[in-house]
Amino acid sequence: MRLPPLPHRPAATALALAGLTLAGVAEAAPLAVSGGSLTWGVTTEPVCFDPHRSSQQNAFFLIRNFVDSLIAKKADGSFAPWLAQSWAISPDGRDYTFKLHPGVSFTDGTPFDAAAVKANLDWVKNPANTAAAASFLVFYDHAEVIDPLTVKIVQHCWNRSPR
């Protein structure tokens, strides 16, 4: 099975996502090179590689190799930056404002930005798309594009019906 290339990130951004700096690292480790192939065995061939639609656990072992998240969950249960370089949570816990890393693009070269985050969340939440991932967005109300690199995600209020 041939997988699509990973999203392109400038070297400094990729190192920052890993918690490293360019100082001393550039000479110690070569930068990633595009191309090549990967052969991966799974017990059952996935029927879908769309992360919004797939509900097969074995598909996610493959999907996670070419799909990124806004934040990552560390082994100790805490959260770390990923595509979002930082985030803030409103005092009432309803609004999550994410500041995105600049210079990130999709595999086709399209820039990754706040509008892309909003479009993905809205697509998943739309019942017409029958996305398996919709179950993870049960409290999602809407997203607001603040600027090209800032998106605010608003949840339904916990103790009342959705707006």
pLDDT of residue 144: 98
- Model pLDDT, residue 123: 86
Instruction: Please state, in angstroms and as integers, the Cα–Cα distance from residue 70 to each residue in 2, 10, 28, 30, 79, following that order.
Output: 25, 17, 28, 26, 10
Domain boundary assignment for the chain:
11-155
Specify the pLDDT at position 10: 46
- Cα–Cα distances in Å, from 101 out to 33, 71, 105, 120? 21, 11, 10, 17
Q: How much is the pTM?
A: 0.67
On whether the CB atoms of residues 146 and 157 are closer than 8 A, the answer is no
Which of 74, 72, 75 has the alpha carbon at shortest distance from 83? 72
- Give the pLDDT score at 156: 84
Mean pLDDT by 10 residues, the chain (163 residues): 45 47 52 79 72 68 75 93 96 95 92 95 85 79 97 80 48
pLDDT of res. 28? 55
Provide the CATH topology of domain 11-155: Dipeptide-binding Protein; domain 1 (3.90.76)
Terminal CA-CA length for the chain: 44
- Residue 40 φ then ψ, to 5°: -135, 130
Backbone angles phi, psi at 102, to 5 degrees: -75, 160
- Angle ∠(146,147,152) on CA atoms, nearest 5: 30
